[in-house]
Structure 1
């Protein structure tokens, strides 16, 4: 590591380290038009809203009655299938990301994880991609902590837990509001595009690999 002010790099998981695709879990098992609706940004069935509640710390069993009441038994059954087969929605690591983590570690930088993810399904990330567990020096999971990006408390917890200094950290997330949340607590938040762009963004901040 050089004299760069940056000492540590923090990564979101889905959309940054892992390719997360709801359609990969549901396609071929349910009607195409239903899968398309569920995966759309304006999903009328609220899958992402229910999943967001799980990411914030609620248990599936606590959310389930709301899904049934609001969506009906058929759609609720699709949601249950999705959660029960969640690893199918994680088809691969995003290209170049494992190597980026390897290179950061080899250069002496700290490498950490910070993710909005349910405590009931997060284990699948490390089970399916054990190299992430090996390369990351620690990970804060929203569903475990019952905190949620982009709120300041989860970033502050991450800094405190791992002994990090905000202005010496870079945080990559694919969601703008989560990048804004990092910037609000003094972390260098960067919108993730792909591994090559991440390397350029790090270089612009003085990180030498």
Structure 2
């Protein structure tokens, strides 16, 4: 197997993003109440809908109408979105840097991210300029794990699935990539990623 392309997810792999950074304070340290809010109101499914291109303002208003008692907290989700960015995951960024420096691979990114908030990340993280290209779900009006976004990535960058490796922290997204013939690495931490890359004869 000759790997010539590496596809990186961003959030959870290269960028630390976590709504708890905002909401644990908003709920005065009450983790149980915060988790209830994420499971019932500002759910991951709701947020992923915006990753697929649904307008943030409309999504916020939809929830406010449904849960008016939680208007303040609902508006906080995208109103304080930038504060959910915890910074870059330095050890993974170092891996990325070394892979690019080797000049052996085409390196692109595939991310579930709202097109409205992604420019904020682009300004904050210099390494986002290092990629040959980035497929942003919000721009494409679809998202992982739907096959359309993988096919967009493959076609846009002329990638042969069997010659590529996709790194993502969500196992669901890896399984979807595998179904299309893309080799997947389920990211857990940078040290383990180095070992997983070695199984594809990729050394950093």
TM-score by length of 2: 0.91
C-alpha deviations, 1:111-157, integer Å up to 9, x for none?
11111111111112221112x22222211011110011001110010
Conserved 8 A contact 2:167-2:187: yes
Conserved 8 A contact 2:8-2:166: yes
Conserved 8 A contact 1:97-1:195: yes
Query: What residue number does 2:49 align with?
Result: 53
Sort the Cα spacing of 1:41 and 1:28 in 2 relative to 1 into closer, same or farther, 3 A: closer
1:147 aligned onto 2:177:
no
For structure 1, the residue ranges without an aligned partner over 5 or more in a row are: none
Give the distance between the partners of 1:114 and 1:39, measured in 2 at CA.
28
CA shift for structure 1 position 76: 3.0
Query: Which stretch has the larger CA shift, 75-84 or 86-95?
Result: 75-84
C-alpha deviations, 1:16-52, integer Å up to 9, x for none?
111111111233334332x644446961223323211
TM-score by length of 1: 0.89
Query: What residue number does 2:63 align with?
Result: 67
4+ residue runs over 3 A deviation: 35-42
Sort the Cα spacing of 1:37 and 1:168 in 2 relative to 1 into closer, same or farther, 3 A: farther
For structure 2, the residue ranges without an aligned partner over 5 or more in a row are: none
Map of 1:93-172 to 2, 5 A cutoff?
Answer: 93-108=88-103, 109-130=105-126, 132-172=127-167
Give the distance between the partners of 2:36 and 2:114, measured in 1 at CA.
21
Conserved 8 A contact 1:87-1:128: no
1:79 aligned onto 2:74:
yes
CA RMSD of aligned residues (A): 1.9
